[in-house]
């Protein structure tokens, strides 16, 4: 899979052109001319002539050639024979070059240019720092080989290092041309070119080629298509589009990706047990827009024919986002407040979605109250909500459960930081929350819920510093910050119980430490009384970056104990630890735990560790234990045997089932500089979409 390598390489190409021709290479002191043979004076042409390993230096711009003439009156240099130009790691090799120091114009015939990332071969290269032109050029992204990918252009013009005009741009692989574009204006910062492909074989799909291609039709808009050819499934195709614009008062970006297939495979069932129809499709639209300095518009549309379409045809995207989301939000950002209108739709029947149709929000960001030492914050929201999934709320016998409900929610909070000393801050807090529903579970009359909160936060801060250095771990001095913290919240609600309220915003399972402040609790429809004391110690260990001298985190180690003051049984509710160690780029460790303090039983733990040695090998291990539901361990490893071969493996073990539930083994072959072929055998007992054992072959284009 190319993962749009072409786009990244294109940006490198434009950057190197700008580097070669930027103003600094022509704004310098007097030039220097030298050679193995004595410098000659040509009275006829009024020039200085250097022969034999001739060298011309002008600031950081250096020219080597067999012969170099410098015309002092015209302030021009001419290099002839074995011309080499060096500048900041970028080199041009040619037969003849002219260079005018006064007008900053240059011209070169046949040339070869490049650095470690890129090679350009062409017939003609001329211009000035503000206007550069290449003719009949090929751009390679590694040393050219018989099957190397490259881009050829009949003519390319770069103006002001920003505007690029290309004639007959043709991406090719070896002797095979993919397509040809006519004259095209391209934005250097965002060229609008996207070429990606997956090639391989799987038991359930057969041989396949799936590509996504987007090409610019003008400055800001690109069109193309998703195209997938599957020997056992058929043809997947759909139009794609990307459109972006930047103006004085507004800028936006819109992406549209689609696909349709008359699927001939064994389709099975979707996530709610319905047979999957062979007419399958997806539509994904995203839109981000900024209007002036204050207004933001964000929208996302996911329409799936069934819950498995993305899992089947774009596994990488499915791993990033397993469920579709459909919403639009318009937000206005003031100096200390945000007002927004948010709507969420439900075009997919396979997923439980709370529809917000719409929801209006206003947030006053924590700020001083007039000119006092009191800080206040405010939130209000009003919206119409519904959900057509009765089972979500465990009230299956209720009629018209998907009826629209109106809810208004607001809270207001005061805080007053008191500096007890240089190392101690006490912040008392008081707040209130009111929520209104126009009906409850049994369609009673209006429901009103009032809640109050009082509390305080105490934070102490201590420092320690040591002049310790260690090159292996990248340590350049140490600073330890120790912060003991104490938080207390007492929350009281009136007699309206949660059993009367429809839980559109419900409690969601999370391994993270729960919020104890009323204003931060997102499960509006399940709020209740609380009397919580949280004790904690936060540790941070920092060092200085050797180059930038900026502070860099080495270690975080935090511990917290929650105490429920409203109960005598199991009052010591839960003990939390958070550990992150990242001293060097080759080592990272993260560990989180939750322990029942009374029984000393560890309920949740998440462990991650990764190590690597450059590009030679990489290993990672993780362990997840979530109460009595999950206990899994996994290992992933990569080892490069030599320049041509490497191996990769992944194993996941379920301790509760006492078996390996997922495993894969891959042999990776590198072909030249540009291609990679993977041969993989995998087995996934939890994959209901495919046979448990799969053999696949894939081809990656490493450079384009």
- Domain locations along the chain: 5-188
Q: Regarding predicted confidence, which is higher, 212 or 397?
A: 212
- Per-residue model confidence (pLDDT) at position 399: 41
Mean pLDDT of 20-43: 70
Nearest to 573 by CA among 530, 616, 634: 530
- Per-residue model confidence (pLDDT) at position 86: 75
Nearest to 122 by CA among 106, 134, 104: 134
Mean pLDDT of 188-212: 78
Q: Regarding predicted confidence, which is higher, 513 or 31?
A: 513
| Percentage of the residues of the chain whose pLDDT score is greater than 90 | 41
- Per-residue model confidence (pLDDT) at position 347: 81
**DSSP 3-state of 413:** strand
d(CA 698, CA 199): 5
Distance of CA 298 to the CA centre of its chain: 17
Cβ–Cβ < 8 Å for 228, 237: yes
| pLDDT bucket at 26, cuts 50 / 70 / 90 | very low
Torsion over CA of 17, 23, 29 and 32, rounded to 10 degrees?
20
Distance of CA 304 to the CA centre of its chain: 23
- Per-residue model confidence (pLDDT) at position 59: 67
Q: Which residues of 539-553 are buried (b: 16+ CB within 10 A; e: fewer)?
A: ebbbbbeeeeeeebe
Nearest to 701 by CA among 142, 186, 207, 317: 142
* pLDDT value at 60 more than 80: no
Q: What is the DSSP string of 612-654?
A: EETTTEEEEEEEEEETTTEEEEEEEEEEE-SSSEEEEEEEEEE
State the Cα angle at 482 between 480 and 487, rounded to 5°: 155
* pLDDT value at 390 more than 60: no
- Per-residue model confidence (pLDDT) at position 379: 97
Radius of gyration over every alpha carbon of the chain, rounded to an integer in angstroms: 33
Number of CB atoms found within 10 A of residue 453's CB? 21
Mean pLDDT of 624-644: 91
Cβ–Cβ < 8 Å for 257, 212: yes
Half-sphere exposure of 276 (CA within 13 A, CB side): 23
| pLDDT bucket at 18, cuts 50 / 70 / 90 | low
How would CATH label the architecture of 5-188?
A: Sandwich (2.60)
Q: Which range among 6-10, 57-61, 692-696 shows the weakest confidence by mean pLDDT?
A: 6-10
The tens digit of pLDDT for each residue in 462-520 reads 999 998 888 878 788 999 999 999 999 999 998 777 778 888 888 887 778 899 999 99
| Percentage of the residues of the chain whose pLDDT score is greater than 70 | 88
Omega into 246 within 30° of 0, i.e. cis?
Answer: no
Cβ–Cβ < 8 Å for 408, 436: yes
Number of CB atoms found within 10 A of residue 405's CB? 19
For 315, the enclosing helix (H) or strand (E) is: helix 315-320
Number of CB atoms found within 10 A of residue 89's CB? 11
d(CA 488, CA 517): 9
- Please report, for residues 162, 213, 255, 447, 606, the alpha-carbon distance to residue 216 in angstroms, rounded to integers and kept in the order given: 16, 10, 13, 56, 45
The tens digit of pLDDT for each residue in 88-113 reads 666 788 899 898 887 878 888 898 88
d(CA 149, CA 210): 18
Cβ–Cβ < 8 Å for 195, 704: yes
What is the pLDDT of the chain when averaged over all its residues? Answer: 85
| pLDDT bucket at 628, cuts 50 / 70 / 90 | confident
Number of CB atoms found within 10 A of residue 282's CB? 23
Tell me the β-bridge partners of 413: 377, 431
| pLDDT bucket at 25, cuts 50 / 70 / 90 | very low
**DSSP 3-state of 42:** strand
Long-range contacts of 262-265 (CB under 8 A, 24+ apart): 262/234, 262/235, 263/233, 263/234, 264/232, 264/233, 264/234, 265/204, 265/205, 265/230, 265/232, 265/233
Residue 159 phi, psi dihedral angles, 5° rounding = -115, 135
- Per-residue model confidence (pLDDT) at position 268: 85
| pLDDT bucket at 418, cuts 50 / 70 / 90 | very high
Tell me the β-bridge partners of 184: 166
Which of 205-219, 326-340, 684-698 is predicted most confidently? 326-340
For 96, the enclosing helix (H) or strand (E) is: strand 90-100
| pLDDT bucket at 688, cuts 50 / 70 / 90 | low
d(CA 460, CA 422): 9
Nearest to 586 by CA among 608, 609, 613, 616: 613
Mean pLDDT of 193-200: 75
Residue 594: which residues within 8 A CB-CB, separation 6 or more?
A: 511, 513, 574, 575, 576, 602, 603, 604, 605
Q: Which residues of 30-57 are buried (b: 16+ CB within 10 A; e: fewer)?
A: ebebebeeeeeeeeeeebbbbbeebebb
Mean pLDDT of 591-605: 88
Task: Please give the sequence-ordered ranges of beta strands (E in DSSP) within 306-443, or none if there are none.
Answer: 327-333, 337-344, 355-368, 375-386, 405-415, 418-421, 424-437
Cβ–Cβ < 8 Å for 192, 184: no
Cβ–Cβ < 8 Å for 655, 631: yes
Nearest to 244 by CA among 219, 224, 227: 219
Mean pLDDT of 594-623: 91
The tens digit of pLDDT for each residue in 536-557 reads 999 999 998 766 678 889 999 9
Q: Regarding predicted confidence, which is higher, 355 or 350?
A: 355
| pLDDT bucket at 397, cuts 50 / 70 / 90 | very low
- Per-residue model confidence (pLDDT) at position 398: 44
Q: Regarding predicted confidence, which is higher, 256 or 4?
A: 256
Mean pLDDT of 283-309: 94
């Amino acid at each position: 899979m190319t993962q749009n390598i072409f786009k990244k390489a294109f940006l490198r190409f434009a950057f190197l052109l700008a580097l070669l021709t930027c103003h600094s290479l022509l704004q310098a002191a007097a030039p220097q001319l030298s050679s193995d043979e004595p410098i000659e004076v040509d009275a006829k042409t009024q020039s200085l002539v250097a022969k034999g390993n001739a060298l011309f230096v002008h600031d950081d711009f250096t020219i080597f050639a067999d012969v170099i003439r410098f015309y002092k009156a015209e302030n021009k240099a001419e290099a002839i024979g074995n011309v080499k130009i060096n500048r900041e790691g970028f080199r041009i090799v040619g037969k003849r070059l002219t260079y005018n120091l006064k007008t900053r114009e240059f011209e070169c015939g046949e040339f070869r240019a490049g650095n470690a990332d890129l090679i350009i071969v062409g017939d003609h290269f001329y211009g000035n720092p503000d206007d550069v032109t290449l003719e009949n050029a090929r751009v390679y992204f590694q040393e050219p080989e018989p099957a190397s990918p490259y881009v050829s252009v009949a003519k390319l013009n770069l103006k002001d290092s920003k505007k690029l005009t290309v004639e007959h741009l043709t991406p090719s692989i070896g002797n095979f041309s993919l397509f040809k574009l006519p004259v095209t204006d391209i934005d250097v910062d965002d060229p609008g070119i996207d070429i990606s492909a997956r090639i391989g074989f799987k038991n359930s799909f057969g041989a396949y080629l799936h590509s996504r291609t987007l090409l610019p039709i003008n400055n800001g808009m690109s069109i193309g298509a998703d195209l997938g050819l599957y020997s056992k499934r058929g043809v997947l195709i759909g139009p794609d589009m990307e459109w972006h614009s930047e103006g004085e008062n507004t800028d936006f970006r819109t992406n549209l990706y689609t696909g349709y297939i008359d699927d001939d495979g064994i389709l099975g069932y979707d996530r709610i047990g319905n047979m999957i129809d062979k007419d399958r499709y997806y539509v994904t639209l995203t839109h981000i827009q900024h209007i002036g300095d204050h207004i933001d518009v964000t929208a996302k549309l996911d329409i799936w024919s069934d819950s498995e379409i993305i899992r089947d045809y774009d596994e990488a995207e499915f791993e990033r986002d397993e469920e579709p989301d459909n919403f639009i939000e318009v937000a206005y950002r003031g100096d200390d407040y945000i007002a927004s209108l948010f709507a969420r739709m439900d075009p997919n029947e396979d997923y439980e979605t709370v529809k917000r149709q719409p929801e209006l929000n206003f947030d006053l960001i924590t700020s001083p109250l007039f000119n006092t030492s009191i800080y206040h914050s405010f939130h209000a929201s009003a919206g119409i909500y519904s959900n057509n999934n009765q089972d979500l709320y465990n009230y299956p016998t209720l009629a018209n459960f998907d009826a629209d409900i109106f809810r208004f929610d607001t809270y207001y909070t005061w805080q007053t930081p008191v500096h007890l000393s240089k190392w101690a801050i006490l912040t008392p807090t008081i707040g209130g929350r009111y929520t209104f529903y126009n009906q409850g579970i049994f369609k009673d009359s209006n429901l009103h819920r009032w809640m109050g909160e009082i509390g305080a936060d105490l934070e102490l801060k201590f420092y320690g510093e040591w002049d310790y250095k260690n090159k292996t771990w990248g340590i350049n001095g140490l600073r330890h910050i120790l912060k003991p913290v104490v938080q207390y919240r007492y929350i009281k609600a009136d007699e309206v119980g949660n059993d009367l309220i429809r839980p559109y915003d419900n409690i969601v399972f999370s391994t993270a430490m729960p919020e104890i402040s009323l204003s931060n609790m997102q499960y509006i429809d399940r709020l209740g009384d609380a009397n919580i004391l949280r004790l904690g110690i936060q540790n941070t260990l920092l060092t200085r970056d050797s180059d930038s001298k900026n502070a860099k985190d080495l270690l975080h180690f935090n511990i917290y104990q929650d105490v429920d003051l409203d109960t005598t049984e199991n009052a010591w509710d839960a003990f939390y630890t958070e550990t992150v160690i990242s001293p060097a780029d080759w080592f990272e460790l993260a560990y989180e735990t939750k322990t029942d303090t009374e029984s000393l039983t560890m309920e949740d733990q998440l462990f991650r560790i990764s190590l690597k040695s450059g590009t030679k090998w990489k290993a990672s291990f993780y362990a997840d234990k979530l109460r009595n539901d999950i206990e899994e361990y996994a290992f992933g490893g990569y080892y490069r045997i030599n320049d041509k071969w490497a191996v990769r493996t992944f194993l996941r073990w379920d301790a509760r089932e006492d078996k390996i539930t997922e495993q894969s083994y891959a042999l990776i072959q590198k072909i030249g500089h540009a291609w990679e072929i993977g041969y993989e055998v995998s087995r996934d007992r939890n994959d209901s979409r495919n046979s448990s054992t799969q053999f696949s072959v894939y081809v990656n284009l490493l450079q384009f």
